[in-house]
Amino acid sequence: MVCESWNAQLDSYLDGELSEAEMRSVDRHVRSCHLCSVDTVTRVQMKRRIHLAGNRFTPSSLFRKRVRQAIAPKPQRSPSRVWVLAGAAALILVIGALTSTYVGTLGDAGQVFSEIADLHVATLASSSPVDVISTDRHTVKPWFQGKIPFAFNLPELQNSEFSLLGGRMTYLHQTPGAHLIYDARKHHISVFVFQEASLPARFEENLVSQKKLGFNMETWSRGGFRYFVIGDASAEDINNLAILFKTTDS
Ligand SMILES: [Zn+2]
C-alpha cells in the first residue's frame, strides 16, 4: 500500500512527537491524500473518546492504598501469582496516574478544547477548508454577516508573520461561530470566535494556554466573545497571533 509508511507515522504526528521536518512532510501528505486525511480525523476522534472515557474513572485514596498493598511482595505466594497481580496492579496504577492528572483541570472546558482541536484537524483535512477564500480581512469580515449572530473585527496583519487564508462558519455543539485560518511559516493556525454566553462550558477568566493532541492552543475572553487559537505552529507564534486579536478594537 502506498500510504503504509505515512500511516505508521500518524499517531506520532498527532501527538507532536516527530521532528519538525517529519511533521512538515506528514502534514503535507495528509493534506493532499484523502485516505490519510480521513484516517487522521478518525484517529483524532478516537483519541478524544479514549480521553473522555479515561476521565470517568477517578481512583479513591482507599483504592490506591489497596493497589499498593496488592503489589507489595508477599513471600508466601507462588511467583506466578505475584507476577499476575503485580502486572494487573501496575496497569491499574498507570490508568489511575493517567486519569488523575486530568482530574480537576479538565471538566466541560477540557471537552471543549478537544472539540476545538477536532474542528481544526477536520477542517484542514477537508478538501475545502475555507468557504471564503481571501487574504483581505475587509472581505472576510462582511462574509460572516448574516451567517453568524454577531460581528467581530479581524486584526491588521501588515508587518506580521501571519497571513489570512480565509474563513468558514463553524459550530460547537449548537453554537455558531467563526473559524478563521491563518498561515505562519507554513503552519496553519485556526482562530475560533464564539459568543461566550452561548458556549457549553465556562472557562477561567484569563488566558489559558495548553497543548492539545500535539497542538499549541490559547483561549481568552474579550468583549463577550470567547477566542481560541490553535495550531501546530510554535507556542510563540500562537501567542503572537493571540496578541494581534487582543489588541484589535472589537
Ligand atoms: Zn496517504
State pLDDT tens for residues 211-231. 766 788 898 888 889 999 999
What is the CB-side half-sphere exposure of residue 164 using CA atoms within 13 A? Answer: 24
- 180, HSE (Cβ side, Cα atoms, 13 Å): 28
**Ligand 1 centre and the CA of 123: distance in Å?**
17
CA of 19 to the centre of ligand 1 (A): 19
What's the pLDDT tens digit per position in 87-110? 766 666 666 555 544 433 345 777
Cα of 64 vs centre of ligand 1, distance in Å, is 44
Please check the confidence at residue 130 and state whether its pLDDT lies above 90: no
Distance 7 CA to ligand 1 centre (A): 7
Residue for grid cell 462550558: 201
Ligand 1 ion local residues (Cβ < 5 A) = 3, 6, 33, 36
> Ligand 1 centroid vs 163 CA: distance in angstroms?
27
210, 248 Cβ separation under 8 angstroms: no
Asked if the model's pLDDT at residue 113 lies above 90, the reply is no
CA of 188 to the centre of ligand 1 (A): 19
CA of 5 to the centre of ligand 1 (A): 9
Quote the percentage of the chain above a pLDDT of 90.
Answer: 21
* Cβ proximity of 196 and 109 under 8 Å: no
Q: 41: CA distance to ligand 1 center in Å?
A: 13
Kindly report, residue by residue over 150-209, the tens digit of the pLDDT.
998 899 888 889 999 999 999 888 889 999 999 998 899 999 999 988 887 777 655 566
Could you tell me the distance, in angstroms and rounded to a whole number, from the CA of residue 128 to the centre of ligand 1?
17
Burial label for 138, CB within 10 Å (0-12, 13-18, 19+), is exposed
pLDDT at 205: 53
Grid coordinates in use for 249?
A: 478594537
| Distance from the alpha carbon of residue 8 to the mean position of ligand 1, in angstroms | 11
- What span, in angstroms and rounded, lies between the C-alpha atoms of 56 and 199? 22
Q: Is the pTM of this model over 0.85?
A: no
Collapsing DSSP states into helix, strand and coil, what is residue 176?
A: strand
pLDDT of residue 233 exceeding 60? yes
Q: Is residue 139 predicted with pLDDT exceeding 90?
A: no
213 Cα–ligand 1 center, Å:
20
pLDDT of residue 53: 74
Q: What single-letter amino acid sits at 65?
A: K
**pLDDT (mean) for 120-145:** 86
The band of 56, judged by pLDDT with boundaries at 50, 70 and 90, is: low
